[in-house]
Amino acid sequence: MIVCIAVVGHQNNPLYIQSFTEADDALKLHHIVHCSLDVVDERVNNPKKSGPLLNETFLGLLYPTENYKVYGYLTNTKVKFILVTTDLDVKDADVRNFFRRFHAAYVDAVSNPFHVPGKKITSRTFAERVSTIVKAFGLSSAG
């Protein structure tokens, strides 16, 4: 199950954080997302690890915490997507697919002429779309 999804701007400022749990763990998830930025930075600054694909946007598993797995994705505009999940065996392909759809949703959201770049994403449509994608991810990984 996806616990949290986040969009972080190129100055590491949070643009969108949505958790999908009932529990009051927003702060914890904020911390996890915030910390994973360190790993994103590390991945980006040490390109030798990222392998032969220069334009690879998918950063893979950022780090496993006790209960969560954190995946990262970096767009060409240095916007980061962070995915926090409790599933312990997640296929990379699933995550990639998820991020691809999420990226499309993000692009649509920021293409809105009323969206101010670098400001938080407040679009309700975006939120709905994200939650659909998240639900779909849960189904695909379960099935």
Site string for other proteins, 13-32 (x = CB under 8 A): xx-----------xx--xx-
35 near other proteins, rule: CB under 8 A = yes
Minimum CB distance to other proteins smaller for 43 or for 96: 43
Find out whether 26 and 1 touch, Cβ atoms under 8 Å: no
Find out whether 21 and 86 touch, Cβ atoms under 8 Å: no
Please, what's the b/e burial string for 79-115 (b: 16 or more CB within 10 A of its CB; e: otherwise)?
bbbbbbbebeebeeeebbebbebbbebbeebbeeeee
Find out whether 5 and 134 touch, Cβ atoms under 8 Å: yes
CB of 59 to other proteins, least distance (A): 16
Q: Which of 60, 88, 142 is nearest to 134 (CA)?
A: 142
Q: Which of 18, 21, 25, 34 binds other proteins (CB under 8 A)?
A: 34
Q: Which of 2, 3, 21, 37 binds other proteins (CB under 8 A)?
A: 37
Minimum CB distance to other proteins smaller for 37 or for 127: 37
Find out whether 69 and 84 touch, Cβ atoms under 8 Å: yes
CB of 109 to other proteins, least distance (A): 18
Q: How far is CA 67 from CA 63, 108, 114, in A?
A: 11, 32, 38
Minimum CB distance to other proteins smaller for 45 or for 55: 45
Site string for other proteins, 38-67 (x = CB under 8 A): x--xx--x----------------------
Site of interaction with other proteins (CB under 8 A) = 12-14, 26-27, 30-31, 34-35, 37-38, 41-42, 45
